[in-house]
Amino acid sequence: MIIVSGTASEVLGIKVAREMQKTKSKIEIKRFPDGEKYVRVLDPVAGEEVAVIQSFYRTPDEFLFEYFLIVDALKGSDAKRIIAVFPYFAYARQDERFKPGEALSLESVIKLIESVGTNEVYTIDMHLHRVADIGKAFGIPAYNLSAVPEIARYIKRNFELKEPAVLGPDEESEQWARVAAKELGANYDILEKKRLSAEKIEIKPRSLEVKGKDVVLIDDMISTGGTLAEAIKIIRKEGARRVIAACSHAVLVENAYTRIFEAGADYLVSTDTVPSPVSYVSVAGLIADALRNRLAKRKGG
């Protein structure tokens, strides 16, 4: 298997190649004066399986289109199969038409990924809402990996947790809170809204007591940080000793990084699916393991 990466995931691509004891193949990517992108495969790939690592963060349109050009260049160089690795997958939230005339973004992007010649897809903690299994959303084999266990192990190694408790900021985050709690040997809960009157809403953990505890607040992604900041304020109000915020994808737009600490977080931990000041946990091993397992299964089959 040959490893290549787009400009969104160049360092991550190098790390994955090292984990697999391979050299990342070279691709020339540049811009013409008018802004168009130019892509050229520099190493031979004929007859080979190629894993293309490319995240879609902050400027997803650019990185998505760059992925299409990379795949076209690989197919034009007679690559046998294309395995897409999208550490951060954009456009997942628009999986239904909520208003007349809206684009069904997830479906459109999937169609484009498939049509360009992708044979298989891996994502990491994809921001899923109403789609429970990406294997059913794609028409090609697709798998969603999770970085949450490794995030929890990092927190366990680097923080002396006192009476740890794990919280998710909302109902959708329960799946990640449950996994992190298992790794940390802690109880978990989520924040929920309780309407006390027509005008008053209370937001607090459903049942878990956090007073005096070190709380790990975990979600799949942080974009503007608004939801997480509100959750941190609530946890502080409930008397938590420390708040360690964590996520798989630290997109961190619109001053989110500052907002989270202003709300009362002591630490913020994320992965390198999106390069950020808090990308302490690498997903290179997770990706390499998935690709190795895939190769082993194909050989065994």
Q: Which two tokens stand for residue 43?
A: 């190493």
Residue 265 has pLDDT above 70, yes or no: yes
Tell me the mean pLDDT in the region 198-209: 70
CATH code for the part of the protein at 2-146+283-300: 3.40.50.2020
Q: Say what the pLDDT of residue 207 is.
A: 79
Q: Say what the pLDDT of residue 199 is.
A: 58
Give one DSSP letter per residue of 84-100, joined into a string: EEESS--S-S--S--ST
Concerning whether 162 is annotated as a catalytic residue, the answer is no
Question: Residue 192 forms beta bridges with which residues?
Answer: 204
The structure's pTM equals 0.92
Tell me the mean pLDDT in the region 164-181: 92
Tell me the mean pLDDT in the region 261-290: 97
* 2-146+283-300 matches 148-281 in fold: yes
Angstrom distance (rounded) from CA 139 to CA 141: 7
The answer to whether 281 and 147 have CB atoms below 8 angstroms apart is: yes
Residue 274 has pLDDT above 80, yes or no: yes
Give me the catalytic one of 111, 193, 194, 237.
193
Band (98; pLDDT cuts 50, 70, 90): confident
**pLDDT tens for residues 145-172?**
999 999 999 999 999 998 999 999 888 8
**Helix, coil or strand: residue 119:** coil
**CA-closest candidate to residue 231, choices 167, 136, 162:** 167
Beta strands (DSSP E) in the chain are 2-5, 27-31, 37-41, 49-53, 81-86, 120-124, 142-145, 165-168, 187-195, 201-205, 214-222, 242-250, 267-271, 279-281
Band (197; pLDDT cuts 50, 70, 90): low
Residue that wins the pLDDT comparison between 72 and 130: 72
Domain residue extents for the chain: 2-146+283-300, 148-281
> Which top CATH class is 148-281?
alpha beta
Q: Which two tokens stand for residue 191?
A: 């924040």
Percent of the chain at pLDDT exceeding 90: 78
Say if strands 242-250 and 142-145 run parallel, antiparallel, or are unpaired.
Answer: unpaired
**pLDDT tens for residues 112-122?**
999 999 999 99
Q: Which two tokens stand for residue 276?
A: 């950020």
The answer to whether 176 and 168 have CB atoms below 8 angstroms apart is: yes
**pLDDT tens for residues 48-69?**
999 999 999 999 999 999 999 9
Name the one residue in this structure whose structure tokens are 């949450």: 148
